[in-house]
Amino acid sequence: MRTIIFIGTQKSGSSREAIRVAEKMGYYTILFTNSHKQLRQRFEYPDVHLMKFCNFERLNELKEMIENLQNTGLKIEAIISFTNNLCYIANKLASELSLNHFTLEGIQNMENKIYSRLSIRDTPYCPNFMILEPKKDYPNINIDFPAVLKAPSSAGSKDVYKIFNIIDLNDRLNLLRKKYPYEPIILEEYLDGNQYLTEVLVIDGKVYIIAIIEQEISYINNHFIVTGYYLIPEKPSYYNKLYRALETIVKQHKLHFGPCHLELRLINGKWKLVEINPRISGGAMNELIELGTGINLVEQTLKLVLNKKIDITPKYKKHVYTKYLTADQKGILEKITGVSKATNSQDVLSIYVKPRKGNILNLPESMGNRYAYVIATGNDRIEAKENAINAIENIKFHLRKE
């Protein structure tokens, strides 16, 4: 039986959509998970044909599990992950089992923020940064404020802080050092400019831009949270400069084959890399791209690793906008209202609401604390954004204090 093994997944979003696509492609789907919650909610994953609990840090045990599956007659054609910090593990396993895989060195350089910064430090696309080693004092730090402090394994804005002064720096540095006592911490310049996300496939070292998305960044609860995404339907005026930046950045990270997404800021006509990850962006990204272009990027990524012919030609070009909703206070969810009204709002294409009654909602500390989204279209950027905002404003979380 033709089989794909997925290393980790979120309950919704790009990583889950990849499993559903694999099932539609006729594959037997196996999920390796380290989440007890997913095992308890097994019935909510009908597209996962086999779910197995495992420890992702024990590579030899994972290999043994896979070999045992092969001995049952399953023909494993791919091992892949669309989940943060698990892409290297998935491709390492694929490599050791002689399966097609994406570039290991490139993935490793992207998953670690320090490796990433060091990869591009001699290019014009690198922000000013310094590495703060553990258990070492830095009494004379020479950096302009505001600045940004982050853990090297951070993703989704978790453990990323905007720093306003030296007192703030010391407080946040102590906080991160308690959480990551043996890891260095990155301090870098704050980039003030419009932020863009680009979804890319790299094939034989050539960069293919699948989508360019303008991001709306909100600074909430001392964290950077992306609350809006606009898919740019036509090539923008800065396309050529952006492409050259992407080519250089991807090459410096040594990714020759595989997917990645890059977040960059445009500052006075110059591109600076915020971060790069060796996978499609999570959340509503795959759905946004498909609704705007007709390209299902997780499907094309699966085909890429399976050595099948891919199709990344847009079928159409629409103005689409995703608006996210966060909680404005912490509490236990009692009910949600306004979903039907939002669904029936003008030019709404999709709605997703994450929490259920009884769940605890938190103030945002990462992208994982976004609790609903609306994707809407319109005749132009302004109209698509207005339609998404007008729709999502109908959705209300009714909370009680813990």
CA dist., res. 71 & res. 189, Å (int): 52
Q: Give the 3-state secondary structure of residue 256.
A: coil
Give the mean model confidence (pLDDT) for residues 149-166: 84
Taking only the tens place, the pLDDT of each residue in 384-396 is 999 999 999 999 9
Number of domains in the chain: 3
CA dist., res. 326 & res. 348, Å (int): 19
- The per-residue pLDDT for 402 is 76
Give the mean model confidence (pLDDT) for residues 308-318: 98
Non-local CB neighbours of 344 within 8 Å, separated by 6+ positions = none
For helices 239-253 and 104-111, what crossing angle results, to 10°?
Answer: 100
Q: What is the DSSP string of 184-209?
A: -EEEEEPP-SEEEEEEEEEETTEEEE
Give the mean model confidence (pLDDT) for residues 372-398: 98
- The per-residue pLDDT for 155 is 67
CATH code, domain with 168: 3.30.1490.20
**114 found inside a domain:** no
Closest CA to 148 of 175, 174, 187: 187
Residue 253 pLDDT greater than 70, yes or no: yes
CATH code, domain with 343: 3.30.470.20
Say if residue 381 is in the same domain as residue 243. Answer: yes
Say if residue 277 is in the same domain as residue 378. Answer: yes
Structure tokens at 208: 């293919």
Residue 219 pLDDT greater than 90, yes or no: no
Preceding peptide of 134 cis, ω within 30°: no
Taking only the tens place, the pLDDT of each residue in 223-243 is 889 999 999 999 999 999 999
Say if residue 219 is in the same domain as residue 365. Answer: yes
Say if residue 177 is in the same domain as residue 325. Answer: no
CA dist., res. 66 & res. 92, Å (int): 13
CA dist., res. 254 & res. 104, Å (int): 9
Q: Give the 3-state secondary structure of residue 3.
A: strand
Say if residue 39 is in the same domain as residue 164. Answer: no
CA dist., res. 153 & res. 201, Å (int): 23
Residue 312 pLDDT greater than 90, yes or no: yes
Say if residue 202 is in the same domain as residue 347. Answer: yes
Give the mean model confidence (pLDDT) for residues 157-163: 86
| Chosen domain end from 141, 168, 189 | 189
Range of the domain at 24: 2-100
- Residue 191 · residue 274 · CB < 8 Å: yes
By residue count, the chain amounts to: 402
- Residue 356 · residue 371 · CB < 8 Å: no
Q: What is the DSSP string of 93-136?
A: HHHHTT-----HHHHHHHHSHHHHHHHHTTSTTPPPEEEE-TT-
Share of the chain above pLDDT 70, in %: 99
